[in-house]
Amino acid sequence: MDLGSILIGVAFMAICISPFLITYINNTKKSKNILLSLKNLANENQCQITKYECSGNISIGMDEIRNKLFFVKQSDNEAIFREIDLKQVRVCLANIVTRSVKGSSGVISLVELNFLNHSKQPDFTIELYNEQQNTITNGEPLLSKKWSEIINNKIKQLI
């Protein structure tokens, strides 16, 4: 092989790999920024994140000592910050809504965590995924199931 062929091959590989590398770098920066927002939210409430998870444009974390849950969802035009006192929550339910599509078993249209509070407090919901805002899921269904289980286990410890 001559030097010209090698240089063309290396240049072609660099062109093919660069979009993936740029996407990876951008996603890493985005995840770090969302995690930083989550930790800042916890610090503002005199808490420290001991367990967390980031997925796409959302981050969820818990202060297991103070029994608080924190949630951050960032999009291009807005950011949603939520602090939840787990002492006020009776149960947390993962809600995954699907819609029928011809020739398919179903398409996920909405993923939420529903918090049912003790009788005096109103119930509320955290939206993890909505097909109106995102075109594809990024692990939100698994995240909702995992965190509803984590939250419910923590609530059981508080009783």
CA atoms of 55 and 33, how far apart (whole Å): 12
pLDDT tens digits, residue range 50-62? 999 988 888 999 9
Nearest by Cα to 125 from 111, 107, 139: 111
- Percent pLDDT > 90 in the chain is 21
Q: What is the phi/psi pair of residue 136, to 5°?
A: -135, 150
Predicted TM-score of the model (pTM): 0.80
CA atoms of 51 and 143, how far apart (whole Å): 13
pLDDT tens digits, residue range 23-54? 778 777 887 888 888 888 888 989 899 999 98
